[in-house]
Every structure is written in C-alpha cells, then in structure tokens.
Amino acid sequence: EAGVAQSPRYKIIEKRQSVAFWCNPISGHATLYWYQQILGQGPKLLIQFQNNGVVDDSQLPKDRFSAERLKGVDSTLKIQPAKLEDSAVYLCASSKERGINLNTIYFGEGSWLTVV
C-alpha cells in the first residue's frame, strides 16, 4: 500500500511570495489533514477534510492560507503572501473511518518551507 505522498519536499521563498504544497493521501482514506509543525513544537492542525468537505479549519490563517481537496482525493495547501513565521514543516496525513486500523493517522514525509 502506497503511503501519503507530498511535494515539494523542500521550498525556499522570499517573504510576500506564494507557495503551494500538494498531497495525495493513501487510497481509500476519506479524512485528510494538513498540519504545520514549527521547529521544536508539536504538529498544529491547520485544516481537516472529510472527503471534499471541511471538518475543521479553525486554526487556519484564512487571510493568507487556503486549502482545497477536489474530488475528495488530492489536496493543495497554498500560502499567499508568505511571512517569515510561516517557516515550518507542513505535514499531510490521512486516515480511514472503517475497517482495520481505523482512525490511525498516517503521515507523509512533509514539505519543508523556509521563508527568507
């Protein structure tokens, strides 16, 4: 079974520029998560999708961050314009709600963002 795929792995941009991250969850996983992890901290949930609907985006800075999950599969997280404090690893994860290992969250390798 293929894991959660993310790209790009690394990105360096200047402040006020834009960036987009892509995620492809494990096949059949209805729930998709985007987490932001700043160095030295635990992951912070930015947005959670159930199929292509948003379940929780309470911690998403909506003035600069946006995310979509078209057709309930792939997802894109965009930051525009970026700020220095957005430097972090952006982790995509997915889980399923039925069957073996339900509710277990599987993570991708993360996308490292550095804003200079």
Strand partners, 83: none
Binding site for another protein (CB under 8 A): 31, 33, 37, 41-43, 45, 48, 50, 55-56, 89, 91, 93, 95, 97, 101, 103-110, 112
Which C-beta is closer to another protein: that of 19 or that of 92?
Answer: 92
Are β-strands 111-115 and 10-13 bridged in parallel, bridged antiparallel, or unpaired?
parallel
45 vs 69: CA distance, rounded Å: 16
12 vs 36: CA distance, rounded Å: 16
CB of 7 to another protein, least distance (A): 14
CB of 100 to another protein, least distance (A): 11
